[in-house]
Chains A and B, each alone.
Chain A
Amino acid sequence: MSLPAPVDLGLAALVLGLAGWVITTSATYRAAEGFVAYGLVLALVWVRLGSVDVALTEAALGSGLTGLLLLRAAARLPADDPAETTRPGPGVRVVAAVLCTAVAGALAAVVLLLPEPAPSLAPAVAANLSATGVGNPVTGVLLAFRAVDTLGESIVLVLALVGLWSLAPDDAWGGRPGFLRGPAAASPLRFLAQVLPPFGILVGIHLLWIGADHPGGKFQGATVLAAMWVLVLVAGLRQPPRVTSRPMRGLAVFGSLVFVGIGTAGAWLAGAFLAYPEGLAKPLILSIETALMLSVAVILGLLLAGPPEPDDAAGVRS
C-alpha cells in the first residue's frame, strides 16, 4: 500500500483543517474568511488531481466570488440576530456527529470499494474529440458532447438572476442593485480599480482563447471579467445598471440566445439539435463561448450586485 506523496497528504490535512475551522468557529464573518482560504487550498488539490480547468473555476468562482458574497452577507447580518448566539443542545450535536460520521464512513468505504480498472469515458472522448475541432477535452465535453448541460446551466444562471431581482421590495423596481454600494472608497482601492481592470480583461480574454486547446474556457474567463467589474463597482467608479435597463438585460440573455440559435440551426443543418455541421464546429464553438462569456460575466456581476434598492436609500451604509 504505497503512501501518497507527502504534498498530497499535507494538502488533504490542510483542507480538512480549514473545513473544520469553518464549521467550528463561532463568528460567521470568521467562518467566511476561513472559507475563502479553504477554496484556494482546494484549488491546489484540484491541480494535484490533474483537473486544471476545475482548479481555475474553483479558485475564481468557488472561493473568490462565493467568498465575496458570503463576506458581504456576513457583514450585513443584524447584530442581535438570535442565530449568532443560540447553539443546539449537546444532545443534538452528539447525534449529528454520529450520523455524519456514519455517512462519511459509508462514503469512504464505497470509495475504497470502487472497481479497480476504473470505468472511464476518456477513450471515447479522445476518439471523438477531433470531430469537435477543439483540443481541450473538457471544452469538448462541455460544448459538444454534453452541450445541453451547459445550455441548461446558462439558463439556470439567468433564472437565478431573475429570482434574485424578485426579492426586492416593490418600490425598488427600476432602482440600482445595492449590495456593493458602500462608504466612499479609500483612494488605494480607487487606484487599484483604475489600474487592474485592463490587465484583468486581457487575462479573461486570454483564458477564453486558450480554453479551446489548453485549460481555460468561458466560465473561468467570465469569472475574471465579473471580478474586474465588481472591483470597479465596489470602488464606486461606476454605478451598477438599473434593473430595467434594456441593453443590460439583452446582454445577460445574449449568450444563451446565441447558444439556442446555433443549436436550433444545428437541428436542420447538422441533423440534431446542438450538433455542429462538419468542419464548422470550432468557429461555432468559439462564437458560442465568446457570447456566453460576455453574458455569464454580466450575470455573475449582477448576482454579486444583489437585488435592486430604491434610489433614495441612503447611499452610504456600513
Chain B
Amino acid sequence: MSAVEISTVFTVFAVSLGSLFFLAGTLGLLRLPDTLTRLHALTKADNLGLGLIVLGLLPQVSSPLGWIGLIAVWLLALLAGATVGQLLAGALRPSDGTPPDRGGGSA
C-alpha cells in the first residue's frame, strides 16, 4: 500500500476514533447526575477527541504552517476548556471551602 493510502487509512481511523470520544463526552453530559462530573466528562473526552481528530488530519495538510495552525487550534481548545472548567467548578464551590454542593438538577 502506497504512502498515500496509509495516511488516508490513518486519517479515517483517527478521526472516527476522535468523534467516538466526542460522542462519549456528549453521552456523559446527558447521563451523568451532576455538574461537576459532567464537567469532568466533557473536558476530558472532548479534548482527547479533538486531539485525535487533529492528529488524524495532520497528514492531509501539506504545508508545515498548516500543521502549526492545526496544533494551535488544539492547544487553544485545551486552554479554553481547562479555564472554563475551573471557572464553572469555582462558581459551584462556595468560597469558605465547604465541600461543593454537587450542583445536581437540570443542565
Contacts and interface: CB of A to CB of B under 8 A. Distances in A.
B71 interface: no
A199 B79 CA distance: 12
Contacts of B37: none
B8 interface: no
Contacts, number: 19
Interface in B79-93: 79-80, 82-83, 86-87, 90
B90 A188 contact: yes
A186 B86 contact: yes
Interface string A171-187: 00000000000000010
A192 B87 CA distance: 11
Nearest to B89: A188
A272 interface: no
Nearest to A189: B87
Given A188-B82, A191-B83, A199 B76 contact: yes
Contacts of B79: 192, 195-196
B76 A186 contact: no
Nearest to A203: B72
A188 B87 contact: yes
Contacts of A189: 83, 87
Contacts of B82: 188
A188 B80 CA distance: 10
B88 to A, nearest CB: 10
B74 to A, nearest CB: 13
Contacts of A186: 86-87, 90
Interface string A192-218: 100110010000000000000000000
A134 to B, nearest CB: 21
B93 to A, nearest CB: 10
Interface string B64-103: 0000000010001001101100110010000000000000
Nearest to A192: B83
A188 B76 contact: no
Contacts of A196: 76, 79
B106 to A, nearest CB: 11
Interface string A136-157: 0000000000000000000000
A196 B79 CA distance: 9
Q: Find the residue from A188, A189, A196 having the highest chain B CB count within 10 A.
A: A188
Contacts of B86: 186, 188
A225 to B, nearest CB: 16
A256 to B, nearest CB: 32
A242 to B, nearest CB: 29
A127 B79 CA distance: 45
Contacts of A199: 72, 76
Nearest to A191: B83
A186 B85 CA distance: 12
A189 B79 CA distance: 11
19 contacts: A186-B86, A186-B87, A186-B90, A188-B82, A188-B83, A188-B86, A188-B87, A188-B90, A189-B83, A189-B87, A191-B83, A192-B79, A192-B80, A192-B83, A195-B79, A196-B76, A196-B79, A199-B72, A199-B76
**9 pairs of A and B residues whose beta carbons are closest in the complex:** A188-B86, A192-B83, A188-B83, A186-B90, A188-B87, A186-B87, A189-B87, A189-B83, A195-B79
Given A188-B82, A192-B83, 7 more contacts: A186-B86, A186-B90, A188-B87, A188-B90, A189-B83, A196-B76, A199-B76
